[in-house]
Chains A and B, each alone.
Chain A
Amino acid sequence: MTNSIGDIHLADVLLVTGSNTTEAHPVISLEMKKAVRQRGAQLILIDPREIELADFAAIHLRPRSGTDIALLNAMVHVIIAEGLAKKEFIAARTENFDALAEAVKDCTPQWAEDITGIPAGMLIEAAQVYGRAGSAAIFWAMGITQSTHGTDNVQALANLALLTGNFGRPGTGVNPLRGQNNVQGACDMGGLPNVLTAYQSVTDEAIRTKFETAWGSSVKIPAKPGLTVTELMNGALHGTLKALYVMGENPFLSDPNMNHVEAALRAIEFLVVQDIFLNETAQLADVVLPAVSFAEKEGTFTNTERRIQLVRPALPIIGEARRDLDIICDLGKRLSRSNGSASSDVIHTVTDWNYTGASAVWDEIAILTPTMSGITYGRLERGGIQWPCPTPEHPGTPIMHKEKFTRGLGRFTPLIFREPAENPDDEYPFVLNTGRVLQHWHGGTMSRRSIGLNWVVPEGEIQINTDDGQGLDIATGDLIRVSSRRGEATGKARLTDKLPRGMVFMNFHFAEIPANALTNDAVDPVAKIPEYKVAAVRIERV
């Protein structure tokens, strides 16, 4: 998020798209509801489903799945045409406006209505409300990014915020709501194939040298970015990836096109899984290393607003399990011994894998990461800190891009509407959408083992529109089979008016009704994110 959870209630207008906030980020949805009910903020909701936030929305746009760019380009078109663009902000802080204006010249509300199914009048109203706001904040989640044009979608949202000067002030900004508790941190820490900590690029020689020197590396960090999850799985299938080490993930259940992933995991010559449960991926492993839960370890998580917060050990370790940090250090020691790395050449003192604890690891991160250099465990003991925080005196950064953007000027990106990779057709006439429910989490490893949560929602279901169900002689509770070009899943149907006609909705928490047996592994060309939110399926009674 460019802004903070704490300033959501200061926005005049909230634009929420591709986020079922009440179920996926419940506590943030409370702040949104507070803004609407207590301060009279206007909520523009963009979502094909009638989710709970629809009850709070001033305007609810329900586009056909995967047509985000047509909708957002039309909003830009209206804002420019009606003179609502903030000319001073555009002149002082942005570039490439002319190219944007040219690109949306023909993106009229009527054109967008034909593509998205949203009445032109509603589109115009939404653009006016957003464009006239004193402060407007945009929020999104995987409904925007899990698309073959996810990067375009995010850039389209940034275009809207740039066009209206909604950056660098309370109650504004572009705010992705990150899914997992530490997905922000895993990215920040270089858990990505192209960057080291805080997005320092592996292609930059000076950066590589800095890390190699500090680490006393006996091997060179390659200049070429590595493979993403989906590419790793393809590599396994094609025999180029021989070994995979998985820490705290279950790709078997969470990756798209499950049959393909299973084949890939089986094809790998050597699979190591470090986890707290024997999940589906671990069952295929050659070695399983028992790790510990968040309650048994020390460290930090970084939340969606870039706030780094302490995780404190509360319980003794169960059985012979080991803390993840100790497992990795053990591996590090064994590998460096075999590599014959000479620790005497090392300028930094903690590169021999004998860290005294998580705070010692953090100190090394802080030295190598300019945007986090001011953060220490001593400071975190007094409360979380939002990066960037470059010096010990720096208070952290609740609002980014106040005076300038990271790259200097904010750049408008002209965007062209493209259809999703797979639209419904005669053979597979429905569109499958996937998401979460409040009571469960991801593959269910944690939530399904919690008695209360499992009591409230004990099983998955397949939601279809009431009229569609009646047309196919399907009633709530009937067993139905959903099939796509990649696989099938069988479960109980639930008929609901909250879905548009032609849509099937499934959560992905239940392995018995695996939504990801059906989803499409076609990816965004830049972000390599699979298109989970649009897959063509058919349904039938079993």
Chain B
Amino acid sequence: MIKPDRIVATTCPYCGVGCNLHLHIKDDLVYKVTSPFDSPSNHGNLCVKGRFGYDFIHSKDRLTQPLMRQGERLVPAKWDEAMGHVADRLLEIREKYGPDSIGFLVSAKCTNEENYLMQKVARGLIGTNNIDHCARL
């Protein structure tokens, strides 16, 4: 039996049922997922994705550094350079075409706090209500 370094209680990232998860972690790898029987939404039940669908966390395809476009290619960049470019271009475009020439797609996969802050950026700093996400899709 593998003994976990730690077990972290969290919430499933797949569908809207909101199953409670226990991530069993060894050497910073999620090797097993269980659910507590007293969880209010799922009573310890999990579907096949909720129990086994976590290889993506450790995927070698994960993005690990910012990328910026140079012609046809996306090339690695420093955070400060990438973020500076994003802020400059957004402000430039707002200056030239007005705030409603900018749109934001927030995410049904991101947290409440992230979504809140992103619409705060859009409404409070850019000055547009052009904010939506895939709820309709």
Contacts and interface: CB of A to CB of B under 8 A. Distances in A.
Interface of A: 5-6, 24-28, 30, 145, 177-194, 196-197, 202, 211-212, 215, 217-222, 224-230, 232, 235, 240-249, 251, 254-256, 269-270, 272, 275-278, 282-283, 285-291, 293-305, 307-316, 318-322, 324-325, 327-332, 334-336, 338-339, 341, 358, 361-362, 364-365, 383-384, 438-441, 445-447, 449-453, 456, 523, 527-530, 532
Contacts of A246: 104-105
Interface string B32-56: 0000000011100111111011111
> Contact size class for B?
35 or more
Nearest to A335: B125
Contacts, number: 446
A278 B133 contact: no
Contact of A278 (B23, B28, B63, B86): B63
Given A325-B117, A446-B53, A307 B112 contact: no
Contacts of B134: 180, 183, 229, 249, 251, 254
Contacts of A336: 125
Contact of A361 (B25, B83, B117): B117
A299 B114 contact: yes
A419 B96 CA distance: 44
Given A305-B41, A316-B28, A290 B65 contact: yes
Contact of A319 (B64, B102, B111): B64
Contacts of B133: 183, 186, 191-192, 229, 249
A358 B49 contact: no
Contacts of A183: 16, 108, 133-135
A248 B84 CA distance: 20
Contact of A314 (B10, B82, B100, B132): B10
A140 B7 CA distance: 35
Nearest to A293: B57
5 contacts: A243-B89, A245-B90, A287-B67, A309-B18, A450-B52
- Between B14, B20, B114, the greatest number of chain A beta carbons within 10 A of the residue's beta carbon is seen for B114
A226 B59 CA distance: 36
Interface in B88-120: 89-91, 93, 96-97, 99-120
